A and B are shown apart, each in its own frame.
Chain A
């Protein structure tokens, strides 16, 4: 049995629990809010950080993301899955942060004397580098995103489609193209196995 084979994501087993917590959170229950933060934040932090952001920047993004989740909590309707809702908001937090950072970097690079004490580079990544992340970074951005959400959240393709604002078909296509590319990059298939 390969390592990492145990079911890990709370997406399926805890979907109902998350909905209950969301309902209590909407009713201003502080315990439910804390439990939601406990359950969602590790996944969201990983999603926000990978593959290029540092821990400090990811933490800022997570705080911004929670502010948005909190303001939009009334839009999570009873009976609808919580994870796609949360990841849709996290995804836009990430996009906005990326744009903001690009703007800042463009502005900063125009200045001549930029020191290398820049916070992004000096902070260690969220987790130690896993070999495959190197390959994931070589995928197109849309494929990277699908692989990242599938890995971090354990959502179904339909839920990933909800989170990314796409259709199930397009998400499936992106995921499967990514698998093909990753297999090619891994490039160590035994001779006996078929493609």
Chain B
């Protein structure tokens, strides 16, 4: 038995207790001074008693607004909700802005890009709905998932659309970007409304996710409406909309986090 093998048992020192340890582990701990010290430290009861005054302060805080609440919907339903917002707002604005871009596009470009956009929206919706519940199970952190969502989009653009450096993309870019950004604003509002039903702990991450998903609405509308199918234009301008959305969302989220009221002593906001 080595100290390293004992480490596995130290993880559960506080919940399993001495009695549940295998004999070999117990023998090692009794002989090894550092393992013994570590075990005693981790297994020892260590909680802080509440003073009656603090207990009554907390009770008052809770009892003031104790009303029945309905548990939050499942992650699946919330994901569906975000996807509905994404689909509906996209459909409305595609109807308004027209299909001139889609008409001029090949089947491969059209369906390929739309599939990747759909997958990205699903991933974004799923990540956001997961962020609404504190203490949920996570395979990947939200920032990594958002990155995972953007990489295939840029790859798809670079593969599906031609790179034409002879044409100046700048004159139409600002108008295109502004349009895409404006299309994404109503989606952002609805996404935030749904997001507020949960308890997003990291407002920066929540804001970035909301901005990203709303920005994807702008990309879809531009995909259908914009006639410039140059990879450089699509990558920089169209995909710039969700990137800008994520950056603005993260900035707003972090700003709001800094403005969160603090319940100081005696429950007074400071």
Contact partners of B30 in chain A: CB under 8 A: 2
Contact partners of A138 in chain B: CB under 8 A: none
Residue pair A3, B40 in contact (C-beta under 8 Å) = yes
B170 is an interface residue with CB less than 8 A from chain A: no
Q: How far is the CA of A21 from the CA of B54 in the complex (A)?
A: 21
A11 is an interface residue with CB less than 8 A from chain B: yes
B43 is an interface residue with CB less than 8 A from chain A: yes
Contact partners of A167 in chain B: CB under 8 A: 138-140
B14 to chain A, nearest CB (A): 4
Contact partners of B138 in chain A: CB under 8 A: 161-162, 165-167
- Nearest to B44 among chain A residues (CB) is A4
Binds A, one of B87-95, B103-111, B154-162, B197-205: B197-205
B15 is an interface residue with CB less than 8 A from chain A: yes
Residue pair B15, A9 in contact (C-beta under 8 Å) = yes
Q: How far is the CA of A12 from the CA of B32 in the complex (A)?
A: 28
A121 is an interface residue with CB less than 8 A from chain B: no
Residue pair A28, B67 in contact (C-beta under 8 Å) = yes
With A37-B55, A193-B28 as contacts: A186 and B37 at CB distance below 8 Å = yes
B16, B36, B55: the one contacting A41 at CB < 8 Å is B55
With A33-B62, A70-B62, A73-B69 as contacts: A183 and B35 at CB distance below 8 Å = yes
Main secondary structure of the interface of A (DSSP, over half): helix
Contact partners of A75 in chain B: CB under 8 A: 71-72, 132-134, 198-199
A107 is an interface residue with CB less than 8 A from chain B: no
Residue pair A89, B68 in contact (C-beta under 8 Å) = no
Contact size class for A?
35 or more
A86 is an interface residue with CB less than 8 A from chain B: yes
| Chain B, range 26-41, C-beta contacts under 8 Å to A | 28-41
Residue pair A43, B47 in contact (C-beta under 8 Å) = yes
Contact partners of A183 in chain B: CB under 8 A: 3, 34-35, 38
B135 is an interface residue with CB less than 8 A from chain A: yes
With A9-B15, A58-B48 as contacts: A74 and B134 at CB distance below 8 Å = no
- Nearest to A188 among chain B residues (CB) is B33
Contact partners of A37 in chain B: CB under 8 A: 55, 58-59, 62
A45, A77, A182: the one contacting B47 at CB < 8 Å is A45
Contact partners of B61 in chain A: CB under 8 A: 63, 66-67, 70
B265 is an interface residue with CB less than 8 A from chain A: yes
B66 is an interface residue with CB less than 8 A from chain A: yes
Residue pair A182, B38 in contact (C-beta under 8 Å) = yes
Residue pair B38, A154 in contact (C-beta under 8 Å) = no
Contact partners of B263 in chain A: CB under 8 A: 60, 63-64, 67
Contact partners of B133 in chain A: CB under 8 A: 75, 77, 85
With A28-B68, A72-B134, A75-B72 as contacts: A152 and B57 at CB distance below 8 Å = no
12 pairs from A and B in contact (CB 8 Å cutoff) = A4-B45, A8-B45, A33-B63, A37-B59, A42-B47, A77-B133, A85-B133, A85-B134, A157-B11, A161-B138, A186-B38, A190-B33
List the 4 closest pairs (A to B, CB-CB), nearest first.
Answer: A4-B44, A5-B18, A7-B17, A72-B199
The interface of chain A, by Cβ under 8 A from chain B, is: 1-9, 11-12, 26-28, 30, 33-34, 37-38, 41-43, 45-46, 49, 55-56, 58-60, 62-64, 66-68, 70-78, 80-81, 84-89, 92, 96-97, 99-100, 126-127, 130, 132, 147, 150-158, 161-163, 165-167, 172, 175-176, 179-180, 182-183, 186-190, 192-195
Q: Known A-B contacts: A75-B198, A89-B199. Give 12 more (CB < 8 A).
A: A9-B14, A28-B66, A41-B55, A56-B265, A74-B69, A74-B70, A75-B133, A77-B71, A81-B135, A85-B134, A175-B10, A183-B35
